[in-house]
Chain A
Amino acid sequence: MSATLRLAMSGLRGRSKVAAAATALVAALAAAAVVAGLSVQSQGGPQVDEIYRDSGRPDLVVYGEPAVLEGLRGDAAFAATGPVTTYTMGDVALGDGSVEARVDTLPPASTPGAPQLRTGRWPSGAGEVVFDRAAAVEAGVRDGDRVHVDVAGRPATLTVVGTAVDLTDCFYPDCDPIRLFVDPAGLRALAPDAADRHTLLIARLTDPDAADATAARLGSGAGVDGVQPWPDSRDDILVRELIFGAALAAFGVFVLLAAAFVVAGTAAARLLARRREIAMLQAVGYTNRQIIGGLLGETLILGVAGAVLGWAAGTLVAPSLQVGLSAAMGRTGIRVSLVSLLIAVAFVGVILTAATVLPARRAARQPVTDVLRDAPPRSAAPARVARLLERLRLAPATRFGLGSVLARPARSALTAAALAVAVAAVVVAGGFLSTMDRFVADPAQSGDPYDAVVAGDGTDGARTAAALSSMPEVAGWYTQTDRRATLGDETFLARAIGGDPAGAGFVMREGQPLRVAGEAVAGYGFLKRFGLDVGDTVDIHAGETPLSLKIVGRYSETEDTGEVLMYRAEMLPGATPDAFLVSARSGSPEALATALRGRLGPATTVRPIESDPDELALFTYSMFVMAGLVLVVSLANLAAALLSGARERARVLGVLRTVGFTVRQTLAQSASGGAALGFAAGVVGLPVGLVLFQVLSDQMTMGIGAGPGLARNPSWVLLALTVPVAALIGALAGAAVTRRLAGTPASALVRWE
């Protein structure tokens, strides 16, 4: 065995089992988080792509009039199409409320875009329905249950005979409507009135990459109400995975950073304890390089072992962390990726090397004769620090405690740094929580500044408008009409706003709100996609209508990853509103919905705004678990550093007790040292955490299309308490670890080996 390897192995044998296990465990934790994060980010895609292929590659969904769609079936861009499918819109009671549903006639099995059956069987009669898989799993609807469907005010009850996955839009709860499938008789029973029936066409393109361009071309044609290209749906399906995976990986990095500081600190301390051994090796003939190699090798062996373990754990855990897709598509199988193993090992290896190499170099550089002569290790200008401390009028216990911390500047700095990482992690988590809270509490942040929706189909727009304006419960309302619009050969969602959007409260991030015809406000995603800015003028086609709009402002929108353009409804003469969006003066959205139903009658579909606290709960829960893990790692390190420091000073503590330090003063000195470290950690970690939070949250909100600057800082209570609490935790840790030492009789302390 090479001399270096031999040295590494001997170092490993000499380590305390607990410390070695701790190092490996921390490396494993970090690797697991990074691997799981990467997995989560990347495993959704292939899964979705598989279903996409199984479904016959539904590249484009076109909504429009039956005759027009029939004519489109022969379009040159289409490789194959399904039949023109009839559907109707309704509401389904789901869980505590209801959700919008699109009830399709079941197409033949092997046509592009046919739904994929997951459980049960296809419907064979009028009273049967195949339910949206994602919604079924989320709400606990099982085969054999009966569900209540309301189409244009006509209630019906259907029996669920199966569940299926459909790719014409993203999945519940990110997207609505959910999709239900019935046989032709069933559809006729639900929607006997032709006015309630609509048609769609699903096509596979010869050139899937041209989906957007094809959508743009077809969307502006006459008789076409809308187009939905597959790439857009795919992005919507995967966005949650992307964000969660990114957050997971980011926290893996946090853990690893904290681990790096921990490893560096313990490496420095252990190397100090092994000075004699290292000096003797040098005297025997080991070169500096061999010694550094041996010391590094020791840490790397542990780190790599931990990383491999962590990779295995992360790979095993990743399928369970699929937050959004699992409901719809079932858990993915475990994907063993050697690439992620390499990444994890390389990542952990690099960080641990960086953490250990400096202390290793210092240890190898110490003069051999000094060490063998038992000369005390050189510390940095001890007298100066001591004189400084004496100038501050501190109690003896505090003075000694602080002096001990400052006497080992490197080790103390590293311990405090590890804790600072934890503080930053907690601040970031708190910030995310705060921001999420705000998003939930204020739906305007995601572009939905309303409390209840009144469906526009089949209602008298003018009558509804008059009713809304007269209701005292209504603070304001506006209408929206969605069109698939094109700019050049690209397509996006354009929304015509009627009524009084100013009363609704869209959150303007830049510029001015939408007031008059000819103006438009855009989401961040839209501006980014087309390379535009507030102040530019664009010429678009909303459906068939050409419009020239001046972008006067940017607002906060998360739908369609922010690629939405809003303009005044006056510019679309003759268009009926798709929906009336109503804000309540006070009270809950449910109360407003009830009032609206009462006023507008049962024929009108009214839905209160949904929030999905469950999803949020999972996200914030995981955030705090991860922040908590980082905190545990750092606190354990703090305790270990304080304890080893106290043990090293045991004899001096004995001397102090001889001079007259009481037990309480012994505890107090350790508490002061810990408090100083905690204070430093808080003072550094708090601003770093805030900055990091701003950066990370901007990345995230830009990623979902809402644009930067949406993050809300953690509550001021958290911020104000961070530094004092960190100091307090440090003090408690210090007092706790020296409790036994403090109770040891002075006689034993003085004789400490």
Chain B
Amino acid sequence: MTESLLRASALTRTYRGGAREHAALRDVSLTVAPGDWVAITGPSGCGKSTLLHLLGGLDRPDSGEVWLAGSRLDDRDESGRALLRRRHVGFVFQFLNLVPTMTVIGNVELPLVLQGVGRREARSRSLAVLEELGVGDAADSAPAELSGGQQQRVALARAVVHGPDVLLADEPTGALDSASADVVLDLLRRRHDSGQSIVLVTHDHRVAAAADRVVTMLDGEIVDERDLTGTKDRPTYANLINLEG
């Protein structure tokens, strides 16, 4: 059995806002193996972003454990989790991923620079990834000069430049028009084909369908987990089309 890459067990997280309490996660467990592509979906407010944040160590659960690449994540403080993230995690958000006061390539090489990689090597690796994702020309531009789709591609570049164990994406296509969304989805597919593990949160089912495994959440709990890579008894979609007139 392969060692799991990312393992969350019995996570709970409750937000307290004055008098009101909101249980965002209730006893959620999830395992991600190397090479997996997991999509987490569900109606808004179901807790999927919260789960993703906990998986990436952006927040601590109230109870439960998170294990990332063999190290325990949830018992570290803010800085400890940040240090772990540097090596093992790449994050992409729905928008505002990039630091506006840095150039595109400055943004992309950040994870490498934080790890202490030398300037020259960081730069060349960043440029290579940017070109692979089709935005190599924008290396010296400011993020504000790019379109939404280009910005997401740059965000993706930054998320993978340091070869993280897992790519965590929170609605990466949510703010994009369908053409740009297609491009980003395609890039994710290609990355996955090269072996990148991905955990992706989305409310767009088309994007979820691209993953190997879909986890459906409702009211802070996982209600369904489906493997989409099986081959038996698959209907063709042609059955759905009725052109009788």
- A745 contacts B85, CB within 8 Å? no
A residues bordering B, Cβ < 8 Å? 376, 379, 382-383, 385-387, 389-390, 393, 396, 399-400, 403-404, 406-407, 651-652, 654-664, 743, 745-748, 750
With a CB–CB cut-off of 8 A, which chain A residues contact B77?
663
- B93 contacts A390, CB within 8 Å? no
Choose among B59, B100, B114, B144 the residue that contacts A652 (Cβ–Cβ < 8 A): B100
Q: List 7 A-B contacts (CB under 8 A).
A: A382-B100, A406-B101, A655-B93, A655-B97, A662-B79, A664-B79, A747-B58
- B101 contacts A745, CB within 8 Å? no
With a CB–CB cut-off of 8 A, which chain A residues contact B103?
383, 386-387, 390
- How far is the CB of B79 from the nearest CB of chain A, in Å? 4
Contacts A659-B86, A662-B78, A748-B59; A383 near B141 (Cβ below 8 A): yes
With a CB–CB cut-off of 8 A, which chain B residues contact A663?
77-79, 82
Closest residue of A by beta carbon distance from B170: A750
> Quick one: CB contact mask for B122-143 with A, threshold 8 Å, 1 for yes?
0000000000000000001110
* Dominant secondary structure of chain A at its interface with chain B: helix
- The docked-state distance in angstroms from the alpha carbon of A747 to that of B93 is 12
Closest residue of A by beta carbon distance from B56: A658
- A660 contacts B83, CB within 8 Å? yes
- A400 contacts B82, CB within 8 Å? no
Choose among A386, A389, A406, A659 the residue that contacts B91 (Cβ–Cβ < 8 A): A659
Closest 8 CB pairs of A and B: A660-B86, A747-B59, A403-B101, A383-B142, A662-B79, A747-B58, A746-B58, A747-B53
Among B39-47, B105-113, B224-232, B237-245, the stretch in contact with A: B105-113
- The docked-state distance in angstroms from the alpha carbon of A703 to that of B158 is 67
- How far is the CB of B11 from the nearest CB of chain A, in Å? 13
With a CB–CB cut-off of 8 A, which chain B residues contact A654?
58
With a CB–CB cut-off of 8 A, which chain B residues contact A379?
144
Known: A383-B141, A663-B82. 19 other contacts (CB 8 A): A382-B144, A383-B103, A385-B101, A386-B142, A387-B103, A399-B106, A404-B101, A407-B101, A655-B93, A655-B96, A658-B85, A659-B91, A660-B82, A660-B83, A660-B85, A661-B114, A662-B79, A746-B78, A748-B59
- B111 contacts A659, CB within 8 Å? yes
B213 an interface residue at 8 Å Cβ cutoff?
A: no
Contacts A406-B101, A651-B96, A655-B97; A383 near B140 (Cβ below 8 A): yes
With a CB–CB cut-off of 8 A, which chain B residues contact A386?
101-103, 106, 142
- A652 contacts B86, CB within 8 Å? no
- How far is the CB of A316 from the nearest CB of chain B, in Å? 44
- A745 contacts B82, CB within 8 Å? no
B60 an interface residue at 8 Å Cβ cutoff?
A: yes
B145 an interface residue at 8 Å Cβ cutoff?
A: yes
With a CB–CB cut-off of 8 A, which chain B residues contact A658?
56, 58, 85, 91, 93
- The docked-state distance in angstroms from the alpha carbon of A29 to that of B135 is 56
- The docked-state distance in angstroms from the alpha carbon of A325 to that of B125 is 78
Choose among B59, B97, B98, B119 the residue that contacts A393 (Cβ–Cβ < 8 A): B119
Contacts A385-B101, A399-B102, A652-B100; A659 near B85 (Cβ below 8 A): yes
- The docked-state distance in angstroms from the alpha carbon of A750 to that of B201 is 15
With a CB–CB cut-off of 8 A, which chain A residues contact B144?
376, 379, 382
- How far is the CB of B81 from the nearest CB of chain A, in Å? 8
Closest residue of B by beta carbon distance from A375: B144
With a CB–CB cut-off of 8 A, which chain A residues contact B59?
745-748
- B79 contacts A382, CB within 8 Å? no
Choose among A382, A383, A659, A745 the residue that contacts B78 (Cβ–Cβ < 8 A): A745
Interface residues of B in 193-217 (CB under 8 A from A): none
With a CB–CB cut-off of 8 A, which chain A residues contact B81?
746
- The docked-state distance in angstroms from the alpha carbon of A129 to that of B59 is 85
- B99 contacts A656, CB within 8 Å? yes
Closest residue of B by beta carbon distance from A652: B99
> Quick one: CB contact mask for B45-67 with A, threshold 8 Å, 1 for yes?
00000100100111110000000
- A659 contacts B102, CB within 8 Å? no
- How far is the CB of B152 from the nearest CB of chain A, in Å? 13
- How far is the CB of B87 from the nearest CB of chain A, in Å? 8
- How far is the CB of B199 from the nearest CB of chain A, in Å? 14
With a CB–CB cut-off of 8 A, which chain A residues contact B140?
383, 387
With a CB–CB cut-off of 8 A, which chain A residues contact B85?
658-660
Contacts A383-B140, A746-B59; A403 near B102 (Cβ below 8 A): yes
Contacts A403-B101, A406-B101, A660-B85; A396 near B113 (Cβ below 8 A): yes
Contacts A660-B86, A748-B59; A400 near B96 (Cβ below 8 A): no
With a CB–CB cut-off of 8 A, which chain A residues contact B110?
396, 656, 659-660
With a CB–CB cut-off of 8 A, which chain B residues contact A396?
110, 113-114
With a CB–CB cut-off of 8 A, which chain A residues contact B83?
660, 662
- The docked-state distance in angstroms from the alpha carbon of A693 to that of B121 is 53
- The docked-state distance in angstroms from the alpha carbon of A173 to that of B210 is 93
Closest residue of B by beta carbon distance from A747: B59
Closest residue of B by beta carbon distance from A746: B58
- The docked-state distance in angstroms from the alpha carbon of A385 to that of B100 is 11
- The docked-state distance in angstroms from the alpha carbon of A657 to that of B114 is 11
Choose among A390, A652, A664 the residue that contacts B106 (Cβ–Cβ < 8 A): A390
- The docked-state distance in angstroms from the alpha carbon of A638 to that of B201 is 40
- The docked-state distance in angstroms from the alpha carbon of A385 to that of B78 is 31
- The docked-state distance in angstroms from the alpha carbon of A651 to that of B99 is 10
Looking at A657, A664, A747, the one whose CB has the most chain B CB atoms below 10 A away is A747
- A655 contacts B99, CB within 8 Å? yes
- The docked-state distance in angstroms from the alpha carbon of A744 to that of B79 is 11
